[in-house]
Amino acid sequence: MGQSKLDVFRELTDSEGDALAATEAFETAYGELVERVGVSAIDGTSDLFQELRDNGLKIALVTGFSRATQDTLIDALGWSDLIDVSLCPAEAGRGRPYPDLPLTALLRTGTSSVAAMVVVGDTASDMLSGLSAGAGLVVGVRTGTHDTETLEDAGADVVIDSVADLAELLGLREETTE
């Protein structure tokens, strides 16, 4: 959904206490699953992060997961040295679709302007968040939750097959043909 897990559970339950308990149970179960089963990145993502860094670009990961779950995922994927900042909704104010996460990432990375910011995501909430933040480019990715039409309807400037295709889109490397 691209939203704070707590916000999702607030919509599904009748009380704040139930939402907090459901969020905690979800985060605990998710963390245990990652540790027991493992997690793998979308092909090419780690290489993309390295290429972005090599080109002087900053990388911020934002999710609706809690800090603990986010750290578990980043550690499991081996991305700690590949990203500049990671944020969860509690650290930025509000989760998606609000602009808080991308704007906080912009400030923490020292990015020069909102026009220089690229927001990439796989949900309509990601697109709305990027638009609300005034990102210079909002990119939808088909490897996740929503299809092209949903991402475009939510405001994606462009939709790509995989986040690994971002370097070509940004002109950092020539397109490959297969």
Task: Write the CATH number for 126.
Answer: 3.40.50.1000
Q: Cis omega (within 30 of 0) on the bond before 97?
A: yes
Structure tokens at 37: 């089963």
In a domain, 56, yes or no: yes
In a domain, 176, yes or no: no
Span 22-65, pLDDT tens digits: 888 888 887 788 788 888 999 999 999 999 999 999 999 998 88
In a domain, 174, yes or no: no
In a domain, 175, yes or no: no
* Domain tally, the chain: 1
> What is the residue range of 97's domain?
5-169
Give the DSSP H/E element, type plus range, for residue 28. Answer: helix 16-37
Span 53-112, pLDDT tens digits: 999 999 999 988 888 889 999 999 999 999 999 999 989 999 899 999 999 999 999 999
Span 137-168, pLDDT tens digits: 999 999 988 999 999 999 999 999 999 999 99
In a domain, 130, yes or no: yes
In a domain, 155, yes or no: yes
